[in-house]
Amino acid sequence: MASDNLPSEFDVVILGTGLTESIIASACSRVGQKVLHIDRRNYYSSKWAGFNFNSLLSWIEEYKSQQGSQSTEDEAEWRKTLEDGEEVLPLSADDSFITNLEVSCYASLEAEEEVKENEEATETLSPAAPSPTEPEEETKGKGEGESSPDVTQETTTSGETQHTQEDGGCGVQEEGASQDAGQSEEIEQKEQQEDTTAGPPSSAKEVKKKKITYADLVKEGRRFNIDLVSKLIYSRGSLVDLLIQSKVSRYTEFKIVTRILTYRQGRVEQVPCSRADVFASKQLTMVEKRMLMKFLTFCLDFEQHPEEYQEVSDQPFWEFLQTKKLTENLQHFVLHSIAMVTKETCTEDGLKATQHFLRCLGRYGNTPFLFPLYGLGEIPQCFCRMSAVFGGIYCLRHSVQCLVVDKETNGCKAVIDTQGQRISCSHFVVEDSFVRQRWKNTEEGHISRAVLITDRSVLPADSDQQISLLTAPPLEPGGPAVHVVELCSSSMTCMPGTFLVHLTCSSKGTAREDLESLIAQMFYVPPSPGEELAEGDERSGRPTVMWAMYFNMLDISRMDGSNGFDLPSNVHVCTGPDVNLGCDYSVKLAEKIFRQLLPEEEFCPPAPDPEDIIYEGVAPQGEGSGFEENPKTEGSPLQSEADGLENHPESEKEAAEVEAPIQETPKEALKEDASPSEE
């Protein structure tokens, strides 16, 4: 909306479009409040934003250009709008929630030279590669086709397609099986001769595979969606409950995180979570499997057995695990990959974290986590969309210069925007970065972040379409644990043939200082752009980093809401995001602020379905209209996405029995999950 057309009076004015602010805007608009939602940035989601690769490069340049610049604010203009008994409270014009930003490119910068080198390598191998039954020119043509961008995209979009191509020889043998036995034997003999003369087929395939350059990243930049904040969504967390309750889930879709990984003794291993995973695991002995199942069963209802933990509830969780006689292998899995806590965490908190993890299993898949398609930055926009549907007014590239405060009541009466317009409001909700100078405490926390674009997964599998969560324990005593989220192209966050890796931890120093050592152990970082490893190097099996970004993000989530700021009573500050993996903090803070604004109203009530809306002069549609919808497809995209995934059971009850039978799911929850259309 054009800024010069803004009304002069609102119930609630919200500055910032992050997750917490967007939830509040949606909740207020839904109950009939008049909401103005603005942001000084030219994009939605604020700190939670996601960018495609080209937009991210532009955002980085803009960030660097703003460093050290100060805005000139004419306070005399503000004074003209003041009345007797009023004073102004300026807001911060410094939008520096990001610090220590560093960007490095390791992909080849010379695209044409790389293509020529690949073609020369293909020509060198082609004389030995042809089958005796195929002419040399035809084989060379196939090699060139494999290195073309179109074929590369097709082969990496689906794990099944790539698997078929890798085992392409099997398809030829199956077709030949219908011929007589003599001809089959001849084909097998020719293939054996080909194998002995052409060498290992995998090495030839690696040379033929098109190498991704920096020019390719820029060209396919719109395929990337890179989030500033890296989080996952617990399937039984507060955000999923809110999405279903408010029916905001209809605006987006989700993917299931397919596997949980851990980094131990220099190796990446998959963590068994459900009963099926535990007993199918080859990493655990039979004794360890029984020990782990017994402990996880205890954690599900540990409150029913207080005699086993109350005496040590204040002691470290790590010591409690040792008293349970778990092996070091099991202790590592439980502490770092299931509970995802530190060794210093108290026993009761560790048991609660383990219980929450286990209760989230089986609702939508074999892991507790979901990830939104196109990135986490979509979630705030979904709530903004719901707010706009119910009358919320949005204006980007627009901000608030100062608050108008009544001296007697110490309440905010109005705000003055960047156009000099005075806008009256009953409540003002603001992102924390706009009021940093009003913070009572001088200590600031930070989050260390790294974003990598790599060429392969940290743990290759039959299918490349894996969304993985890896928790790396501290490399040094007292260091932070690192959450690593690896995204594939099917999550709509990166181009085919690449993986997008997010690393997050609490800051001890700069982001590069905190994360560079772990990255060097898990990935291959070329010393110069495009440099490849020598044959036989022990790092040859690691993913190669093609592009990296490090930065620190401000974290003041430990502040007690608005009580930690020297602000008027009806000004509410939204802090965060926090360093935790889930989004529960932001959702709970949004509900807390909404209760302060409108204590008697329902928080995010369900939005009506389009078919339930009755317009004036239009009679409701009667039964037997012939347009009945399938109730299975009528539910929220959250449910539909889960139902459409591979190997997903047809019902919640079946999922609980197959994937997590150690959990007794309440009948009410089963009924709720199995009937998304009733939500």
Q: Which residue has the higher pLDDT, 457 or 535?
A: 457
- pLDDT at residue 94 in the model: 73
Confidence at residue 209, expressed as pLDDT on a 0 to 100 scale: 60
**Secondary structure string (H, E, C) spanning 3-67:** HHHCCCEEEEEEECCCHHHHHHHHHHHHCCCCEEEEECCCCCCHHHCEECHHHHHHHHHHHHHHC
DSSP per position, 61-105: HHHHHHTT------HHHHHTT--TTEEEEEPP-----EEEEEEEE
| Interatomic CA distance for residues 301 and 303, integer angstroms | 5
Q: Which of 514, 548, 513 is nearest to 529 (CA)?
A: 548
Task: Reply yes or no on whether the pLDDT at 627 is more than 60.
Answer: no
Q: Are 228 and 576 in contact (CB under 8 A)?
A: no
Q: DSSP E strands: which ranges in 373-515?
A: 393-396, 400-406, 411-417, 422-431, 445-454, 468-472, 482-487, 499-506
Q: Are 604 and 26 in contact (CB under 8 A)?
A: yes
Using the predicted structure, report yes or no on whether residue 104 has a pLDDT greater than 80. Answer: yes
Place 74 in a pLDDT band, splitting at 50, 70 and 90.
Answer: low
| Residue range 548-604, pLDDT digits in tens | 999 999 888 877 555 678 889 899 999 889 999 999 999 999 999 999 999 999 999
First-to-final CA distance of the chain: 33
pLDDT at 203: 41
For the stretch 360-396, pLDDT in tens is 998 998 899 999 999 999 999 999 999 999 999 999 9
Q: What is the mean pLDDT of residues 56-71?
A: 80
User: For the chain, what is the mean pLDDT?
Assistant: 79
pLDDT of residue 614: 67
| pLDDT at 73 exceeding the cut of 70 | no
Across the beta sheet with 254-256, the strand order is 233-234, 369-372, 254-256
- Highest-pLDDT range among 122-136, 471-485, 549-563: 471-485
What's the rounded Cα separation, in Å, for the pair 333 and 317?
13
Q: Where is average pLDDT lowest: 190-194, 512-516, 517-521? A: 190-194
SS3 421: coil
pLDDT of residue 637: 53
Helix (H, G, I), strand (E, B) or coil at 405: strand
Look up residue 505 and give its two tokens.
Answer: 């931890």
Share of the chain above pLDDT 90, in %: 52
Sketch out the chain's domains with CATH numbers. 271-366 (1.10.405.10)
Instruction: Work out the pLDDT band at 539, boundaries 50, 70, 90.
Output: confident
Q: What is the distance between the alpha carbons of residues 10 and 453, in angstroms, rounded to a whole number?
A: 44
Amino acid at 41: R
